[in-house]
Structure 1
């Protein structure tokens, strides 16, 4: 059967595969359109399996916040080269994946991969493998998150290298237009300072004890009556570096993050959650 340019074009529009791959698939299936679709899916899976072990130090973090400001999603997707990360196909996948996360609310990247993709019989993992076959590189969904706050606002920030992204949820009664700058600065603060947790209570108990053990070894030999005070001071500095609410505000280190946010948005504001994604870290 003669494979026409129209047949190739229609198969490309359906699958997103390259022109030569579509032509080969149609040739291998004697021009049967649906069989050619299946052929491309199978070859794409084989291609993905071959590339699965290759390192993925490049990629992009992408975020979308709804027009209301109450819902946001953010994804981190890794690939092998910055060239592929800048392609329309890769960027289109980021956009589609963000929309999926906003709609389906997977708990994490692993859960997302098993979810149904865009109402089809495929999964997100299938979509990733097709993208691998199309772009010729190993691609991994590294991180996903979804935040919703009906009593406040979601805000996000993507660093200029597009490999670091932050999303926050803050409860506030301040209107979005007035709060935008403060929330964006909060996101930038998190991108720069890398806080470990939101509150002291969120800190892993083993991490706290390990820090205390290190500090106790440092002050061993000091008079017993001042050891506890020294330990308290060292732990306060540790929390001040690791706990978001207690960190020194990047724009004014005489204030903590919580104090600075209250000054901008009022005492009723509360940071509910934050995430920081980084590709290639």
Structure 2
């Protein structure tokens, strides 16, 4: 059996970032073979992943990048178990590395991203490696790509909430400031769609049924239930669709009115809102 020196252990630790005892055990098991020891440590990471598969990644960080033209934005949300790890330098570095690779290679889905090779290995293995070092579940909890005439990003101060907003009919106007205001509106008010036409049929049906049941519980006659429910549905549209919401910074105007006053015809084509936890 090979003799494992303190220098060997430290060398493996520098190569992998794993703990001293883990490095010593891996080198001993690998009979001094560094490559085999690295594989052992990576396998440990895979075991960490499996043993923590039921753990909640309620912490993490959102990473966003917009192309130079401001027409395409990519968002990666990397989840972990604790805020301490979310602020860890290696965790932050991995998030930015994954994001940069996604942008460079034009990834469209999380599945493609996990299989993408970075430095010769798939992203999924990089996640596993960091799990082995840190001992927490780490996963890509969201991946979004948004294109538009003008795309404005927003990441909330806690780093766990990100918004991508696509605007249209911008003309030659700089709409960055109003775009950021609307992106912050999305972060705070959680709209379900851009406008009422974007609300899915299941949600509409559910809101109508809730409206009817509320009216029935209030003792309203059956003949009036449909009309009352439709009134409540319109209230739902006002509260829950972006363009119809009252603007947070000036509730005398709707978001649609604020956009139109910034530039005639300016409106929203799409948005994405991602929150970890």
Q: TM-score, normalised by structure 1?
A: 0.84
- Paired position in structure 1 for 2:198: 202
Residue 189 of structure 2: which of 186, 193, 214 is its match?
Answer: 193
Are positions 1:213 and 2:212 aligned together?
no
- Is the 8 Å Cα contact of residues 73 and 99 (structure 1) preserved in structure 2? no
CA distance in 1, matches of 2:252, 2:78: 37
Secondary structure of the corresponding residue to residue 49 of structure 2: helix
- Paired position in structure 1 for 2:94: 93
TM-aligned CA deviation for residue 80 of structure 1:
1.3
- Paired position in structure 2 for 1:272: 269
Are positions 1:160 and 2:157 aligned together?
yes
Are positions 1:128 and 2:127 aligned together?
yes
Secondary structure of the corresponding residue to residue 34 of structure 1: helix
CA distance in 2, matches of 1:173, 1:48: 49
Tell me: CA distance 1:169–1:4, structure 2 relative to 1, closer, same or farther (3 Å).
farther
Does 60-69 or 158-167 show the bigger shift? 60-69
Secondary structure of the corresponding residue to residue 158 of structure 2: coil
Matches within 5 A, 1:248-267: 248-267=246-265
- Is the 8 Å Cα contact of residues 57 and 279 (structure 1) preserved in structure 2? yes
TM-aligned CA deviation for residue 68 of structure 1:
3.1
CA distance in 1, matches of 2:15, 2:8: 11
- Paired position in structure 2 for 1:67: 68
CA distance in 2, matches of 1:20, 1:265: 63
Secondary structure of the corresponding residue to residue 78 of structure 1: strand
Secondary structure of the corresponding residue to residue 53 of structure 1: coil
Secondary structure of the corresponding residue to residue 74 of structure 1: strand
TM-aligned CA deviation for residue 100 of structure 1:
2.8
> For this pair of structures, how many residues does the alignment match?
272
TM-aligned CA deviation for residue 248 of structure 1:
1.6
Secondary structure of the corresponding residue to residue 154 of structure 2: strand
TM-aligned CA deviation for residue 33 of structure 1:
3.2
- Paired position in structure 1 for 2:147: 148
Q: TM-score, normalised by structure 2?
A: 0.85
- Is the 8 Å Cα contact of residues 195 and 244 (structure 1) preserved in structure 2? yes
CA distance in 2, matches of 1:97, 1:270: 32
CA distance in 2, matches of 1:89, 1:148: 30
CA distance in 1, matches of 2:167, 2:104: 21
TM-aligned CA deviation for residue 15 of structure 1:
4.0
Unaligned runs of 5+ in 2: none
